[in-house]
């Protein structure tokens, strides 16, 4: 059976592309040197797949920054403010991705957004009314030729025209319909250019069709491809979908002149039943996405072979494929020298997945696969099950009762109690948690990790930092203080390290955006808290002042969403386990005198399922109760805060209110405050701190500016419910600008307090 890879990681096993790009940005190397690194990486990636025996090896899956941005540039979707800079092609591209500030001008970067529900971010292309879409680049052809010169016939990968138009931001009056002819022409031209080269297969990535599609979407899709494929010659076209099933458009897809259809069997819950119900045309090839491109667990060969057999029995022509691009998993396990074999044998990163493809492909052709050693070895892993259970955790979870999800007394009552003893002024001021992680803070941490300083020394340094932060916050006159989070590298890894059931890797980097990579921890088994995590730091900070210091935790949904999840238990069960672990921390903080506790859920909104009909049943119905389980055990006088990075939760406001926090802070300064209208309309009960200034930029906001923002907020939110705080944590900011900004923020709060009195 033939095998196909949707896309391969591109940043480099040693993050070579990241480091070369950063050097290029700093002017330490030239464009040619950067391009040489890129070329070398592409060659290596093609070779790895060739040696592994993959039949459909992708090309043009490489990117200097982001694949969607590549597609936009290829089609000439470049806003004028970038072309006006008159930079080289590469630098124009980087200006769009990262912004440009130099002798030729000063232009901000394009916006960045989550790539569907992955932790990867893409650059949002902008379509201006004056943009004329046309074929402007040569990247896909060059990368195809480059592989061909090395003797490998690849399958060039292109972002499909539908997905590209779907993900663009339209800055003028035009809509996607206005670009139909132009973009169809570009894609048709690309097909014929490949045809001239003798290319056998082309892959169009169309993940946008797994979303909810209405009649207009479907018509547009069909119309678009009718045009693109009108004069299609010998090149075979694979329409590749991923991240879900194509229930809204399956019937059209199988009727259209595609030669191959790539379907996701891992996340596509209805993929199998769609094929069952509507059949799969004999003349087309099904690229069956059965090897999970998004998670790091080994494939269950027995299960996969059963799928393949069922398809074969129906006479379907099948190519075995990854479910999506492998860019969402790390390169290889060879680098994980710190992980014991007993763990590693259960994992498959990108390169190990190539082996799986090959092995399963072969087994699928065998008459007695169960006799093959590779099959038996795989079976032995799944037959016994992993040694990862913790009976105490399971018992505890099974004993959780309905009432454990409910905090009493109800919020209105708690509010009265908290107001009375909290002694906070109207419009209380606070920050979101972290203070600038300056060079000395990072140095202290890495020195400790390398064993150059003792734990004592490491802690003392942080304690000094905390003391200075507390003194400074008191001086400025903030009402609710924070300890500054100097001890944390990352808001998830930090907690994961103190939870049993978690595993950590050395080099398992995954691209998050551009040159940024993350190293998600792995949830290996049942999760519980080993010992108190943050208590010492919070208690120390509180001991220095009479003002309340917020305890600072990451919530269970965010911890889960930013880890590699288990596949043997449900998301609900995993999140609930983490919730119980964090609940222990909440109760310990309270016991030790912490009166306000913030539980961050930065990633709650972003992991909503792609289809609206799944939002509640498959996510919110247990994610929200899990959050309540974390804090339901505290006394009425303990105030629970939560924080979210986006204000884009207009459509799930009741669910957010149902988290039953006393206060929520969120990013709002860059949005138009429409969210506040919705909060009012929905009778949102939680007190709110919409960020009054943008922390993503070093700019210092003036007192007037913040006052004005607050006055606007007051027209939508009752005075006794409004908090005053920045957008998000301050860890990426410099000390100087942070201080100035907070001083202005406190002054603005004072100003509206006095206007309130008069
Ligand atoms: N408490 C965290 C901080 O201030 C929150 C970070 C986040 O929301 N991403 O850094
Ligand atoms: Zn945030």
Query: Which residues pair with residue 522 across a beta bridge?
Result: 503, 564
pLDDT at 758 over 70: no
In this predicted model, what pLDDT tens digit does every residue of 242-265 receive, in sequence order? Answer: 999 999 999 999 999 999 999 999
- The answer to whether residue 696 is catalytic is yes
Residue 757 pLDDT greater than 80, yes or no: no
Closest residue to atom 1 of ligand 1, CA basis: 433
Q: pTM to 2 decimals? A: 0.94
pLDDT at 105 over 80: yes
Q: Among residues 745, 664, 674, 679, which one has the least CA distance to residue 710?
A: 745
| Position in ligand 1 atom list of the atom nearest CA 554 | 1
Average pLDDT (576-589) is 98
The Cα–Cα gap between 359 and 316 comes to 20
> What count of other Cβ atoms lies within 10 Å of the Cβ of residue 340?
9
Rounded average pLDDT over 10-37: 97
User: Does the structure show a pLDDT above 70 at 555?
Assistant: yes
Over residues 396-404, the mean pLDDT reads: 98
List the Cα angle 528/533/536 in 5-degree steps.
Answer: 150
Per-residue pLDDT tens for 641-695?
A: 999 987 788 899 999 999 999 999 998 876 667 889 999 999 999 999 999 998 8
Task: Report pLDDT for 546.
Answer: 97
In three-state secondary structure terms, 348 is: coil
pLDDT of res. 617: 95
Q: What's the pLDDT score for residue 668?
A: 83
CA of 604 to the centre of ligand 1 (A): 13
Q: Are 287 and 263 in contact (CB under 8 A)?
A: yes
For residues 413 and 51, what is the distance between their CA atoms, to the nearest angstrom? 67
666 phi/psi in degrees, rounded to 5: -155, 165
Categorize the per-residue pLDDT at 118 as very low, low, confident or very high, splitting at 50, 70 and 90: very high
The predicted pLDDT at position 567 comes to: 95
What is the Å distance from ligand 2's center to 603 Cα?
Answer: 9
Task: Spell 663-701 as b/e; 16+ CB within 10 A means b.
Answer: bbbbbbbebebebbeebeeeebbbbbbbbbbbbeeeebb
656 lines ligand 1 (CB under 6 A): no
How many other C-beta atoms are found inside a 10 Å radius of the C-beta of residue 511? Answer: 25
| Percentage of residues in the chain having pLDDT higher than 90 | 93
Tens digits of per-residue pLDDT, 50-76? 999 999 999 999 999 999 999 999 999
Q: What mean pLDDT is reported for the chain?
A: 96
- The confidence score (pLDDT) of residue 97 equals 94
pLDDT digits (tens, 9 = 90+) for 327-363: 999 999 999 999 999 999 999 999 999 999 999 999 9
Would you state the pLDDT for residue 699? 87
- The answer for residues whose C-beta is within 8 angstroms of residue 454's C-beta and 6 or more apart is none
- Is residue 277 left, alpha or beta, with left meaning phi > 0 and alpha meaning psi from -120 to 50? alpha
Residue 274's contacts (CB-CB under 8 Å, 6 or more residues apart) are 245, 246, 247, 250
491 lines ligand 1 (CB under 6 A): yes
Of the candidates 613, 606, 607, the residue with the CA atom closest to the CA atom of residue 248: 613
Residue 263, helix vs strand vs coil: strand
Nearest to 717 by CA among 680, 674, 750: 680
3-state helix vs strand vs coil in the chain, percent to 5: 45, 15, 40
Q: What pLDDT shows up at residue 80?
A: 97
Atom of ligand 1 nearest to the CA of 643: 8
DSSP assignment of 144-194 equals HHHHHHTT---EEEEE-HHHHHHHSEE-SS--GGGGHHHHHHHHHHHHHHH
SS3 state of residue 100: strand
User: Do the beta carbons of residue 478 and residue 429 sit within 8 Å?
Assistant: yes
Sort strands 201-205 and 155-159 into parallel, antiparallel or unpaired. parallel
696 CA → ligand 1 middle, Å: 12
520 lines ligand 1 (CB under 6 A): no
Query: What pLDDT, on a 0 to 100 scale, did the predictor assign at position 89?
Result: 97
């Amino acid at each position: 059976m033939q095998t196909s890879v949707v896309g391969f990681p591109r940043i480099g096993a040693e993050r070579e592309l990241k480091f070369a790009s950063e050097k290029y940005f700093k002017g330490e190397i030239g464009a040619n040197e950067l391009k040489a690194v890129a070329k070398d990486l592409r060659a290596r990636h093609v070779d790895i797949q060739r040696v592994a025996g993959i039949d459909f090896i992708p090309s043009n899956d490489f990117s200097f920054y982001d694949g969607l941005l590549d597609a936009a540039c290829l089609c000439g979707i470049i806003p004028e403010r970038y072309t006006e800079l008159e930079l080289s092609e590469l630098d124009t591209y980087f200006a769009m991705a990262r912004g440009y500030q130099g002798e030729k001008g000063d232009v901000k970067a394009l916006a960045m957004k989550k790539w569907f529900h992955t932790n990867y971010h893409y650059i949002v292309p902008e379509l201006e009314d004056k943009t004329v879409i046309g074929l402007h680049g040569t990247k896909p052809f060059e990368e195809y030729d480059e592989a061909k010169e090395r003797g490998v016939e690849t399958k060039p990968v292109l972002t499909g025209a539908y997905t590209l138009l779907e993900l663009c931001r339209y800055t003028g009056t035009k809509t996607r319909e206005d670009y139909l002819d132009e973009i169809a022409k570009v894609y048709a031209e690309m097909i014929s250019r490949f045809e001239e080269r003798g290319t056998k297969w082309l892959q169009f990535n169309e993940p946008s069709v797994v979303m909810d599609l209405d009649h207009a979407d479907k018509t547009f899709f069909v119309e678009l491809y009718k045009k693109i494929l009108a004069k299609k010659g010998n090149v075979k076209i694979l329409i590749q979908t991923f991240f879900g099933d194509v229930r809204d458009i399956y019937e059209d897809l199988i009727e259209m002149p595609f030669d191959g259809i790539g379907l996701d069997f891992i996340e596509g819950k209805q993929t199998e039943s769609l094929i069952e119900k509507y059949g799969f045309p004999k003349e087309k090839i099904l690229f069956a996405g059965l090897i999970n491109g998004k998670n790091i667990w080994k494939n269950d060969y027995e299960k996969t072979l059963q799928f393949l057999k069922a398809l074969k029995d129906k006479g379907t022509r099948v190519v075995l494929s990854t479910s999506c691009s492998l860019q969402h998993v790390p390169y290889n396990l060879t680098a994980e020298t710190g992980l014991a074999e007993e763990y590693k044998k259960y994992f498959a990163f990108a390169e190990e997945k190539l082996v799986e493809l090959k092995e399963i492909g072969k087994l699928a052709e065998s008459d007695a696969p169960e006799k093959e050693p590779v099959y038996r070895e795989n079976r032995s892993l799944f037959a016994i099950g992993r040694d990862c259970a913790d009976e105490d955790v399971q018992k505890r979870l099974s004993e959780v009762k309905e009432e454990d999800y409910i905090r009493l007394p109800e919020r209105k009552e708690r509010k009265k109690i908290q107001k009375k003893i909290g002694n906070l002024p109207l419009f209380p001021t606070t920050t979101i948690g972290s203070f600038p992680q300056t060079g000395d803070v990072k140095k202290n941490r890495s020195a400790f990790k390398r064993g150059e300083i003792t734990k004592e020394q490491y802690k003392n340094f942080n304690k000094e930092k905390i003391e200075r932060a507390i003194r400074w916050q008191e001086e400025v006159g903030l009402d609710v203080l924070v300890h500054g989070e100097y001890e944390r590298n990352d808001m998830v890894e930090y907690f994961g390290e103190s939870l049993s059931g978690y595993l950590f890797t050395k080099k398992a980097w995954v691209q998050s955006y551009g040159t940024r990579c993350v190293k998600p921890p792995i949830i290996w088994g049942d999760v519980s808290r080993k010992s108190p995590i943050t208590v010492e730091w919070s208690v120390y900070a509180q001991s220095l002042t009479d003002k309340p210091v917020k305890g600072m935790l990451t919530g269970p949904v965010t911890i889960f969403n930013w880890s590699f999840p288990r596949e043997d238990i449900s998301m609900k069960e995993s999140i609930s386990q983490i919730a119980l672990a964090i609940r222990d921390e909440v109760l310990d903080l309270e016991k030790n005198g912490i009166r306000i506790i913030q539980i961050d859920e930065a990633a709650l909104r972003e992991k909503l399922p792609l289809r609206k009909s799944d939002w509640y049943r498959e996510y919110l119905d247990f994610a929200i109760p899990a959050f309540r389980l974390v804090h339901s055990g505290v006394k009425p006088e303990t105030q629970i805060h939560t924080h979210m990075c986006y204000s884009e939760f207009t459509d799930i406001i009741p669910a957010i209110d149902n988290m039953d926090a006393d206060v929520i802070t969120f990013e709002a300064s860059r949005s138009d405050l429409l969210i506040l209208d919705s909060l009012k309309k929905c009778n949102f009960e939680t007190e709110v701190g919409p960020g009054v200034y943008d922390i993503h930029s070093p700019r210092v906001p003036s007192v007037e500016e913040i006052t004005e923002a607050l006055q606007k907020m007051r027209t939508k939110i009752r005075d006794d419910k409004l908090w005053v705080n920045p957008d998000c944590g301050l860890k990426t900011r410099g000390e100087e600008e942070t201080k100035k900004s907070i001083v202005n923020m406190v002054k603005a709060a004072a100003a509206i307090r006095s206007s309130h009195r008069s």
